[in-house]
Amino acid sequence: MRTTIDIDDQLMLYAKHQAVKQGCTIKQILEDALRDFFSHQPSRPNIVSLETFSGAGLKPGVNLDNSRSLSDIMDGY
């Protein structure tokens, strides 16, 4: 696939020197660099597993929007 990108002059100069040094093309240098970059990336995001419990639901009179009453209930008041 042909594409155009804007690369920092010093970085491109370094890539050209590496291509000459390794006896390959700049295209091969850039492709290898991209392969190396993507091989070190996580293949999928970390999935968080949440533990769930079954039960009868909330006790009568519990209001989840009132943190003070929830705190009182948890403290046994």
Reported as a single tens digit per residue, the pLDDT across 15-65 is: 999 999 999 999 999 999 999 998 887 777 778 888 877 777 777 778 889
70 versus 25: the higher-pLDDT residue is 25
| Of residues 43 and 66, more confidently modeled | 66
Calculate the dihedral angle through the C-alpha atoms of 24, 25, 30, 32, rounding to the nearest 10 degrees: -30
Q: pTM surpassing 0.85?
A: no
Task: Judge whether 47 and 62 are in contact, CB under 8 Å.
Answer: no
- pLDDT band of 77, cuts 50, 70, 90: confident
Residue 69 confidence (pLDDT) above 90 = no
